[in-house]
Structure formats: structure tokens, C-alpha cells
Structure 1
């Protein structure tokens, strides 16, 4: 019964892997077919754990920026298409905001890439600190970021006003001074 339950639990790839305490105890017995089966199940569980971790890592590398941990261009493109489809089906307006860091190349060239990377990470932290429902933020690459706002309103003017209010909130969030390696940086 224990072995059957263990096999069944391993077959459900969407569930958390079981801890297999009873199977572990069986695997420690001296000999016998149940011991060999228990050892095989433990090996299979460990391999399944490695497979799931690798799958998660591949997904993360494919869809998230490694520097900022924000969604990357690929995931943002997919979300934008989904957003457009949803807006059309629900007859609501959304918005797309494109952000580009002014003078980023100057900062990178004069202060070094490490400092530029640190600045991008701080920008990403400020973006993720905005807890607004219906928005998705990502890094497109370099010093470019994108914000997608879903479901603003069904009326065009109301949606535009909400998008403008969010853009102003975004500007207030991103405009204070950044401190990178004891240097202050102001972005306009």
C-alpha cells in the first residue's frame, strides 16, 4: 500500500514531491524486493526533484531578466498580446508605458558597468515596489523598461485619465535620487 501511494504521488507532476519517510525506512532494510523497490522510488524522487528544479531554472532564464528579476522582453511580449486580446474581448482600454533611462550610456561609460547594473537594479526595485493591481512591469533590455496596464476603463477618456495618473505616480517613484557606490545619481 505504501509503495502504491508513493508511485501515485510521483505521477502527479503538479503536486509537491512527497517526503517518503516510510519509503526511506524501507530502503534501509538489509535486503528483499521491497527494499530494492524503495531504493528505486527514492532514486526516482530525487531525479524528479532535479528535473523540476531544472525546468524552473529554464523557465526563469527564458522569461525573466537575470539582472533585475523582472519579466523580460519575451514574457512582456506574450503578456502584451494577452492584454490586447483581453481588452478587445472585455471592451476595456489599457495602456503601455515605455521607460528609457536618460544618459544611461554616460553613467555606464563614466562610472562602469557595475554601477550601471546597480542603478538598473534599483530602478527595478522601485518599480516592483509599486503595488498596483492590473499592471505588469518588465525590462526589455539595456536601460529600457515597459509597463502594461490592463483594464483601466471602458470609456476612453476615463482610461486616459487613469493612465496619466499612474504615469505621474511612476514618475514620482522613479525621480528621487539614486545612491550607487556612494554617488548620487538623478534621473530626469
Structure 2
């Protein structure tokens, strides 16, 4: 079933607490700004942002069931439950909301973990989730400042903060996040080498 923007917003809003909906509004607004700043599609960015946390407040056993029964990455189930809603949410966006744009679905799918060779839209939505106006954690102001000029550096700062936090808490780090972080380092190094030539 294909919903228009207003129907989509109404449906997603009713599935989460008010505080999380305010976060979603912040991610929508920030995704549009970042898309316009760095040359991504603002309409796709907003659509991915509306749906990025669509099933975050579903029961975790339901998220796990979606992952298990729909050929989603099974290794997710060995890691933090905070990762599950992204892949489950992309599946829900496709099957329940009729979103068929793979680029949008990928931006939903990888907004928490990142991935190697992130697309511009992946980066925009992931970074918007890190730095929307309602976010308040050590380092977020620095990420916002970097994002004024450099998408990849800002996202790298976000991943570095997440990895540091997980290390401090003695938690496992999802391998895709390490690959995403390393991929950004490679991209930035290649860009520097190009600029030096």
C-alpha cells in the first residue's frame, strides 16, 4: 500500500512515543538540510528520515522475528538490540508502506550501523540521526560544526564517538560499523591525496 507523505507521517507517529516522534521530526529537518548542502535528493532524504525509526518501539521479539523470517542479516541478532530496528524497519517500509526505492531502503537499513561504501543518501540520513537538534551528548556540537563543511568528517566523528562509547561500556562492536568507519577514513585520505596533486 502506497501512502502519501501525510498518511505516512500519521502512521509512523502513532507507533512511537512523543519524544521519539520529535526526534524523527528533527531527523527529517536535518536530512533535508544536509541533502541540500551536500547535493543529495532532499525528497528521498526526508522519506528515509520519516521511516528510519518506524519499528524502533515494536517489541524486540517482533523485530527479531522479522529478521529471522525474512532473510535479513542473521548476525544482527548476536549484537545490540538497538541495531535491529533499522533492518526490520527497511523491511516494513517495503512491505507495509510500499517503498520500493532501494536507495531510500538502504538509508533506513544502514542508519544505525553504517556500511562500507555508503551512498550519499546513506551518509545524510545517518548523520542527521546523529546530530538532529534534539540530540544532546558530549561531542554533538563538534559534529554539527564539522557538518557545516564536510559530510564525511562529521560522520566519521559520529562513528568514532559511538565506537568509543561501546568500548567504554565493554560492548561488542558490530563489524559493519567498523567497516563503515574505515571506509570513511579511506575516502577522506583519497580526497586529500587528490587535492594535493
Whose helix proportion is higher, 1 or 2? 2
RCO higher in structure (CA 8 A, sep ≥6): 2
Query: Which structure carries more strand by proportion?
Result: 1
In the superposition, the TM-score normalised over structure 2's length comes to 0.26
* Structure number, greater radius of gyration: 1
